[in-house]
């Protein structure tokens, strides 16, 4: 399995995030990447690929991003830091003002950067820094490069994306995510001739951004296993009743699971989701690979052990589909490499 990676991820690392009313060191940190890379090397994953940053690759990335994110949102991301520093500010950008969703409709996007941060951002845990746009763009390029490798004949590829992407919607950021990497890979498959693509999100937190992007479409099936939004971030989406809208009705499947969920319960949900993928007739599979379902993860509440990641990798590999893995969450940092690589090895043993 080829691994697509880039050190450009280091351009993004905020000094802090708001968690539990305190400014703390971000759980989403650069050493997550380091641990995964070290474990990949230890297990013989040495076929490393750079993201395609040629003029052709950059043009393809721009075109794909424009298909899944709104033009005004992309414009905001590209210019946010300049607008911030034009006011003499040098600190990280953290949204602190938000529209009241239950009130009257907001007439439109504010002109001031403080208002725009709340317009496009939905959490206070996700700061923008000077290098955020470059890092996020590089992560999306990893996903598109991995997809191109698979569309060109590889059976699978792993995009070691950082920052992650599944909380980034068509026009918003949050949950450490700015561009939807899995969405980029899925749209890339469609652009390269696939008729139907499935996205399976195994991160502990619901992939609200991915759901948002594809909710009204019938060419992408979205399946998400996650903590019940009654008690878990991102709280407002991820219910089993959310099944899609319009042409997308029936092509969105959520599996909200209670705190303390065991692997037996979790894997039964995955088996059901993969049965939906098979019935859908997907030509390709994108996996949002969050390993924060691990029992010792500091901001999650499932009970999977490291061997369980190998087992469900086998389930994913047994689906027999051309597959791209995009790295998402996982905040038990010293174990993130073992758990992520176990999934990849499980996939390879079964595929």
Question: Active site residue: 9, 69, 167, 347, which one?
Answer: 167
Contact 349, 317 (CB under 8 A): yes
Identify the DSSP state of 175: T
HEC-encoded secondary structure of 13-37: CCCCEEECCEEECCCCCCHHHHHHH
Closest by CA position to 173, among listed 94, 248, 256, 245: 94
Contact 275, 253 (CB under 8 A): no
Contact 247, 218 (CB under 8 A): yes
DSSP conformation letters of 105-148: PP-S--SSHHHHHHHHB--SS--B-TTHHHHHHHHHHHHHHHHH
How far is it, in rounded angstroms, from Cα 258 to Cα 305? 17
Contacts of 70 (CB under 8 A, 6+ apart): 170, 171
Q: Give the chain's radius of gyration (CA, Å).
A: 19
Query: Is residue 167 annotated as a catalytic residue, yes or no?
Result: yes
Q: What token pair was written down for 326?
A: 């995009």
Hunting for tokens 């949900």 — which residue is that? Answer: 269
Cα distance from N-terminal residue to C-terminal residue, the chain = 11
Closest by CA position to 128, among listed 164, 84, 92: 92
How far is it, in rounded angstroms, from Cα 117 to Cα 89? 14
Active site residues: 167
């Amino acid at each position: 399995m080829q691994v697509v990676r880039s050190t450009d991820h280091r351009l993004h690392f905020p000094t802090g995030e708001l968690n539990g009313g305190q400014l703390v060191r971000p759980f989403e940190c650069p050493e997550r990447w380091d641990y995964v890379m070290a474990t990949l090397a230890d297990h013989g994953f040495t076929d490393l690929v750079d993201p395609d940053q040629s003029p052709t690759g950059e043009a393809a990335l721009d075109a794909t991003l424009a298909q899944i994110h709104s033009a005004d949102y992309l414009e905001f991301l590209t210019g946010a830091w300049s607008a911030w520093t034009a006011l003499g500010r040098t600190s990280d950008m953290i949204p602190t003002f938000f529209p009241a969703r239950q009130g009257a409709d907001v007439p439109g996007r504010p002109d001031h950067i403080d208002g725009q941060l709340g317009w496009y951002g939905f959490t206070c845990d996700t700061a923008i820094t000077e290098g955020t746009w470059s890092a996020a763009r590089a992560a999306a390029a990893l996903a598109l490069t991995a997809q191109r490798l698979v569309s060109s004949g590889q059976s699978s590829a792993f995009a070691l994306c950082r920052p992650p992407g599944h909380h980034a919607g068509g026009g918003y950021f949050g949950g450490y995510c700015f561009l939807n990497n899995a969405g980029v890979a899925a749209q890339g498959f469609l652009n390269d001739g696939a008729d139907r693509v499935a996205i399976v999100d195994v991160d502990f937190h619901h992939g609200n951004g991915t759901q948002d992007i594809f909710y009204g479409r019938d060419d992408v099936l979205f399946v998400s296993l996650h903590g019940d939004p009654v008690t878990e971030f991102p709280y407002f989406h991820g219910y089993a009743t959310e099944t899609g809208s319009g042409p997308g009705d029936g092509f969105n499947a959520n599996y909200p699971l209670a705190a303390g969920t065991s692997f037996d319960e979790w894997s039964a949900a995955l088996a059901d989701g993969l049965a939906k993928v098979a019935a859908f007739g997907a030509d390709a599979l994108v996996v949002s690979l969050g390993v924060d379902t691990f029992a010792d993860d500091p901001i999650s509440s499932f009970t999977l052990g490291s061997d369980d990641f190998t087992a469900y990798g086998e389930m994913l590999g047994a689906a027999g589909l051309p597959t791209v893995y995009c790295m998402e969450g996982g905040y038990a940092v010293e174990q993130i490499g073992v758990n992520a690589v176990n999934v990849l090895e499980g996939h390879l043993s079964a595929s």
